[in-house]
Amino acid sequence: MGNDGGTIPRRDELVRLKKKKEKKDRDSELSFRWRHCNITQEPLEEPISACGLGRLYKKQAVIEALLDRNLLPESASHIKSLKDIRDLRLTPNPSFKTDAEKGDGYIDRATSPYICPLTGLEVTGRFRFIFLWSCGCVFAERAMKEVKAKSCLKCQAPFNEEDIIILNGTEEEVDGLRVRLEARQARAKAEKKAKSEAKKKLKAEVQDSGVPTESIPFQPSVASASSVPKETLSSGTAKLPSSSKIIPSAAAGSSKMTVGMGAKPLAGDKRSATDKFNDPAFKKSRESYRVAADPKATEVFKSLFTSHKSHESQTRAHWVTYNPFYN
């Protein structure tokens, strides 16, 4: 039985079915996530940074958002300072063309301006990429699995498993990175608190002792003093071990010498005291030394001084110094 016009209705025209969800273009979504900033949604520009959750940002946009917290979206609320991001050390793609995009032209989204330095895979989102939090170098996850090392394959900086962060990972991977990020922040906060407490404790001890910090002398090593027998110490024939060095005391105005482990020797203290007194240059610094009585000085050198016999009958001042005797 037909309707007007002789048409026969079909079932799909009479029964209303539930509409299916619109599927997103996976390639377009990946291209947008890997080429645009997570804060401003603008194309990425160097320097490019990443957070502990593996999201990409323009560093300029991060700085502007930190200055004005209203610009910071909820997805980047975990960024409190520049210490929460790392500058990525990306490897440029030599085959990438930077021509301007035309409105009616074909845009190849399968290429990327950056590649993996080991495998040559392009950073387009089709392959999983990671970066190291310790140095910021970016690699393909495939390369890190094939070459197992404890140092960066590009800059040779050491790293551990917690430093490996997946870029633009799935929701489950982001949840795992969030737990790792909170643990890293708690560890950094505890280290900072321990340093401040140690500094306050040291300052309190110095104030209780009543001695300025600058006048605290260097304490010698107990092991080096205890290793010398008492008999040699009483006889005065003890020698210092080869590992001990003579360094000046930290007390202000003190001319004493203290013994410290691992200190650098001074260039002027290599000779003993007796060698210094026998040195002719050291003898000239005494008050009893006179140039006129020095047998090694020449007559030309002696004539430069007022103690020379040629200056006894001179009626004008010396050419170097001002002598009130002649004026």
Domains annotated for the chain, with CATH where assigned, are 27-97+108-185 (3.30.40.10)
The confidence score (pLDDT) of residue 245 equals 44
**Given CA atoms 79, 81, 84, 87 in this order, what sign does their dihedral have?**
positive
How many angstroms separate the Cα of 175 from the Cα of each of 68, 74, 165, 166, 170?
A: 27, 15, 12, 12, 9
The CA radius of gyration of the chain, in Å to the nearest whole number, is 40
Distance of alpha carbon 11 from alpha carbon 317, whole angstroms: 131
Half-sphere exposure of 68 (CA within 13 A, CB side): 6
Q: Residue 113, exposed/middle/buried by CB under 10 A (0-12, 13-18, 19+)?
A: middle
The confidence score (pLDDT) of residue 260 equals 43
The confidence score (pLDDT) of residue 273 equals 52
Please list the pLDDT of the chain residue by residue as tens digits (327 residues): 555 666 776 766 666 767 777 777 777 777 888 888 888 888 888 889 998 888 899 999 999 988 888 888 888 888 888 888 899 999 888 888 776 566 666 666 678 888 988 888 888 888 889 999 888 899 888 888 888 888 888 888 888 888 888 898 888 888 888 888 888 888 888 888 888 888 888 888 877 776 555 555 545 444 444 444 444 444 444 444 444 444 444 444 444 444 444 444 444 445 555 555 566 665 666 667 777 788 888 888 888 777 777 777 776 665 666 656 554
Distance of alpha carbon 303 from alpha carbon 293, whole angstroms: 12
Partner residues linked to 248 by β-bridges? 257
The confidence score (pLDDT) of residue 258 equals 44
DSSP string, 279-311: -HHHHTTSTT--STT-TTS-HHHHTTSTTSGGG
Partner residues linked to 260 by β-bridges? 245
Chain centroid to Cα 323, Å, comes to 60
Least Cα distance to 280 among 265, 266, 297 occurs for 297
How many angstroms separate the Cα of 177 from the Cα of each of 56, 120, 163, 169, 323?
A: 14, 26, 10, 9, 84
The confidence score (pLDDT) of residue 262 equals 46
SS3 assignment, position 71: helix
C-beta separation of 34 from 168 below 8 A? yes
The confidence score (pLDDT) of residue 287 equals 66
Preceding omega of 47 cis (within 30 degrees of 0) = yes
The confidence score (pLDDT) of residue 41 equals 87
Distance of alpha carbon 171 from alpha carbon 320, whole angstroms: 87
How many angstroms separate the Cα of 118 from the Cα of each of 122, 147, 149, 152, 324?
A: 11, 10, 13, 12, 84
Distance of alpha carbon 292 from alpha carbon 310, whole angstroms: 11
C-beta separation of 272 from 279 below 8 A? no
The confidence score (pLDDT) of residue 284 equals 60
What tokens appear for 221 in the block?
């090593």
The confidence score (pLDDT) of residue 1 equals 52
Distance of alpha carbon 50 from alpha carbon 58, whole angstroms: 9
